[in-house]
């Protein structure tokens, strides 16, 4: 008879994954930098936008967890056309049926505008090239992009081929493109060749391979040719890549008859910089994606590079004004979030939490408004490289308030959103209120919460109200007579001064026996678009501007600030005084 016994489950010890030591000695300095002591690109500037080529629908699409459907591709294609792209790589028709079908849909349903050229990618292999031309049958104009890798690491370790064998692959690919294109004479064909991993290829060898390809295509005899120089894996500083581009442009044959294109990746975080310096080095054309989607850390972000040109007064020749819509479509089609600090498009890129930043932004904007003729409407604002309004962002995006914010940011919110232009001494007073509230809730404050704190501190003077009163000017001296409620008690006020405010304060001082002095006073009209203040009984037209008055009083040696709003300036200043008194008594 067998005996059955029960045991506690055995818990296997967790095995920690083995990691290689963090050892920099495993890596070597970049080995493919050309000798270019007389480089010229550092002395140049970009004065015109390059030709842009979007590769969102191919390079970007292949890097997605879930590749786009035909419907998503169509939505994306239409967006690229609206933005202004004239060259759009639509896919890899020989790689998948959905890619082939999308090409046919664009062509057969006439979705390609006359001024837009589609581009497709294909490896230098006969059956793939044949399938590619089948997908493009009937197209008006197209770029056929053929490539093979030329880098040393791929020659040695992936293909196990020598220099001549790799070059022969490129030559055969060029001949196959030429032969298939000849079968479709009604289409205007542009040939494009990429020595893939150009940046990791010996500079002289890259030139040799491209020269061999061009000996087949003969761009000097009229064939349109694009030579694309990819930093397939970004492995050097952007200045080294620029040297590679300039070296190539100097040594390649028939440079004047070819278009030099760049395709940079972002492995070192410098794809945009590399592309910009590459244009200085002689490139004519840039491939990239919107928001930089692509393999590993992504492609060069065309949005960033285009907006960089825009911020320097160079027409990017792309319409990025409806940036929020562009970002929404791109992120939905790619199913990828946008980082809140993504340049130009992130939620927080125009946002200042720092008090000193907020103050500088407010002062810059105020200066520009007051000196529009002197500034000639040229944008020059501290901490804001471009005007957010130019890409569809509101000024509410610029300044947001938390416990780190200062008086300038709070003043900016109140001025831009609610019409209150606080004088400096009032900014200091209210910033303390806002900072305390932000610390209490331990988070960013919404604009509505800032307004609520402002109103409850200065504009809701419960128990303090000015009743019937008369103000008379008697030979230069102003006499005030009236009634007011003070802590729920109705009292008579009578005082003298050189104006309505000083005579009212004199009357309050006489009645209370306190030492009252006006320290600061400021006023301004509130734009009709804002709704603060009460109307005079005889004034029913809400389009009339209202007044805001800011009062600072010394009450027995203590400082108190108040604000009043009204359609009447005199009434506004008296209400401001009541606001300050309500905090003092």
CATH number of the domain residue 135 falls in: 3.20.20.70
Residue of 255, 256, 273 whose CA lies nearest to 264: 273
Q: Using CA atoms, how far apart are residues 493 and 511, in angstroms rounded to an integer? A: 7
In a domain, 378, yes or no: yes
**Domain C-terminal end among 401, 432, 455:** 455
Collect contacts of 408-411 with beta carbons under 8 A, ≥24 apart. Answer: 408/355, 408/356, 408/358, 408/359, 408/360, 408/361, 408/362, 408/363, 409/352, 409/353, 409/355, 409/357, 409/358, 409/359, 409/361, 409/362, 410/358, 410/434, 410/450, 411/362
Is 483 found in the same domain as 407?
Answer: no
Q: Are residues 328 and 190 in the same domain?
A: yes
Of 334, 363, 382, the position where a domain reaches its end is 334
Q: What is the pLDDT, as a whole number, of residue 16?
A: 65
Q: What's the pLDDT score for residue 373? A: 81
Q: Looking at the structure, do residues 118 and 233 belong to the same domain, yes or no?
A: yes
Which of 581, 465, 582, 564 has the alpha carbon at shortest distance from 524? 564
Q: Are residues 386 and 487 in the same domain?
A: no
407 and 480 in one domain? no
Q: Which of 180, 175, 177, 179 is nearest to 191 (CA)?
A: 177
Do residues 359 and 427 both lie within one domain? yes
Instruction: For residue 486, give its domain range.
Output: 464-584
Give residue 3's pLDDT. Answer: 42
Q: What is the pLDDT of residue 352?
A: 67
- According to the model, what pLDDT value does residue 462 have? 64
Sign of the dihedral through C-alpha 530, 534, 540, 545: negative
265 is in an annotated binding site: yes
Do 442 and 577 lie in one domain? The reply is no
How crowded is residue 494: how many other Cβ atoms within 10 Å of its Cβ?
15
What does the pLDDT read at residue 545? 53
Q: CA distances (Å), 130 to each of 93, 119, 506, in order?
A: 10, 15, 97
63 and 172 inside one domain:
yes
Domain boundary among 434, 455, 476: 455
Sign of CA dihedral 276, 280, 283, 284: positive
- Residue 342 is labelled as binding a ligand: no
**3 state DSSP class of 374:** helix
Tell me, yes or no, whether 15 lies in a domain.
no
Cα(312)–Cα(295) distance, integer angstroms: 30
In this predicted structure, what is the pLDDT of residue 541? 37
On whether both 155 and 242 belong to a single domain, the answer is: yes
Residues contacting residue 129 through CB under 8 Å, at least 6 positions apart: 94, 122, 146, 173, 176, 177, 180
DSSP E strand boundaries for 36-112: 51-54, 87-91
b/e per residue 272-307 (b: at least 16 CB within 10 A): bbbbbbbbbbbbebbbbbbbbbbeeebbbbbbbbbb
Domain count, the chain: 3
Residues 278 and 248 in one domain: yes
Max CA distance (Å), the chain: 126
Question: For residue 46, how far is the Cα from the chain centroid?
Answer: 21
Shared domain for 234 and 170, answered yes or no, is yes
Query: Would the annotation count 127 as a binding residue?
Result: no
Residue 41 lies in a domain: no
In a domain, 201, yes or no: yes
How far is residue 537's CA from residue 515's CA, in Å, rounded to a whole number?
34
Record the pTM: 0.71
**CATH code of the domain in which 489 resides:** 3.30.160.270
- Domain presence at residue 342: no
Same domain (yes/no): 363, 294: no
Residue 584's nearest CA partner among 520, 533, 509 is 509
Q: Can you list the residues of the chain whose pLDDT is less than 70? A: 1-17, 352-355, 394-409, 461-463, 529-545
211 occurs within a structural domain: yes
For 376, list phi and psi in degrees, rounded to 5.
Answer: 55, 30
Contact 161, 194 (CB under 8 A): no
What span, in angstroms and rounded, lies between the C-alpha atoms of 366 and 372? 10
What is the Cα 440 distance to its own chain's centre? 32
> What is the spatial distance between Cα 118 and Cα 129, in angstroms, rounded to a whole number?
16
- Decide if 268 is inside a domain: yes
In a domain? residue 141: yes
What lies within 8 Å, CB to CB, of 220 at 6+ separation is 254, 257
Known binding residue 440? Answer is: no
């Amino acid at each position: 008879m067998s005996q059955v016994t029960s045991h506690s489950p055995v818990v296997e010890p967790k095995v920690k994954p083995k990691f290689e030591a963090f050892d920099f000695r495993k890596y070597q300095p970049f080995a493919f930098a050309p000798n270019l002591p007389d480089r010229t690109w550092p002395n140049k500037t970009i004065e015109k936008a390059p030709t842009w080529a979007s590769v969102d629908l191919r390079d970007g699409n292949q890097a997605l967890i879930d590749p786009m459907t035909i419907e998503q591709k169509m939505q994306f294609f239409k967006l690229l056309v609206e933005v202004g792209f004239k060259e759009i790589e639509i896919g890899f028709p020989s790689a998948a049926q959905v890619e082939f079908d999308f090409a046919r849909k664009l062509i057969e349903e006439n979705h390609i505008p006359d001024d837009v050229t589609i581009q497709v990618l294909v490896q230098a292999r006969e059956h793939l090239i044949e399938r590619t031309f089948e997908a493009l049958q009937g197209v008006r104009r197209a770029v056929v992009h053929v490539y093979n890798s030329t880098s040393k690491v791929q020659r040695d370790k992936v293909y196990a081929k020598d220099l001549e064998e790799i070059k022969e692959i490129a030559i055969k690919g060029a001949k196959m493109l030429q032969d298939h294109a000849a079968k479709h004479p009604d289409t205007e064909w542009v040939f494009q060749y990429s020595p893939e991993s150009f940046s990791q290829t010996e500079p002289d060898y890259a030139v040799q391979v491209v020269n061999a390809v061009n000996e087949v295509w003969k761009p000097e005899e009229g064939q349109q040719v694009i030579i694309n120089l990819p930093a397939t894996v970004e492995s050097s500083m952007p200045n080294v890549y620029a040297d590679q581009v300039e070296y190539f442009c100097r040594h390649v044959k028939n440079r004047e008859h070819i278009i030099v294109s760049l395709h940079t990746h972002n492995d070192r975080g410098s794809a945009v910089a590399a592309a910009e310096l590459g244009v200085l080095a002689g490139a004519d054309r840039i491939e990239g994606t919107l928001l930089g989607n692509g393999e590993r850390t992504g492609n060069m972000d065309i949005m960033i590079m285009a907006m960089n040109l825009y911020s320097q007064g160079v027409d990017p020749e792309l319409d990025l004004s409806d940036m929020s819509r562009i970002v929404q479509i791109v992120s939905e089609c790619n199913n990828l979030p946008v980082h809140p600090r993504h340049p130009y498009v992130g939620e927080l890129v125009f946002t200042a939490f720092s008090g000193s930043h907020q103050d500088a932004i407010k002062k810059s904007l105020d200066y520009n408004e007051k000196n529009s003729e002197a500034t000639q409407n040229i944008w020059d604002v501290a901490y804001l490289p471009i005007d957010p309004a130019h890409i569809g962002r509101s000024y509410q995006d610029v300044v947001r308030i938390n416990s780190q914010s200062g008086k300038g940011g709070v003043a900016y919110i109140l001025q831009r959103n609610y019409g209150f232009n606080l004088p400096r001494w009032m900014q200091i007073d209210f910033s303390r209120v806002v900072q305390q509230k932000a610390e209490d809730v331990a988070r960013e404050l919404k604009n509505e919460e800032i307004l609520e704190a402002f109103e409850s501190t200065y504009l809701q003077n419960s128990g303090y109200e000015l009743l019937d009163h008369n103000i008379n000017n008697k030979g230069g001296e102003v006499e005030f007579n009236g009634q007011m409620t003070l802590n729920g008690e109705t009292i008579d006020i009578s005082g003298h001064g050189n104006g309505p405010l000083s005579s009212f304060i004199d009357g309050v001082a006489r009645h209370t026996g306190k030492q009252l002095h006006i320290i600061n006073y400021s006023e301004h009209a509130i734009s009709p678009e804002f709704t603060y203040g009460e109307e005079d009984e005889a004034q029913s037209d809400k389009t009339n501007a209202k007044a805001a008055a800011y009062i600072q009083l010394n009450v027995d040696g203590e400082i108190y600030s108040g604000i009043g709003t009204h359609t009447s300036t005199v009434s506004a200043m008296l209400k401001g005084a009541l606001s300050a008194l309500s905090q003092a008594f």
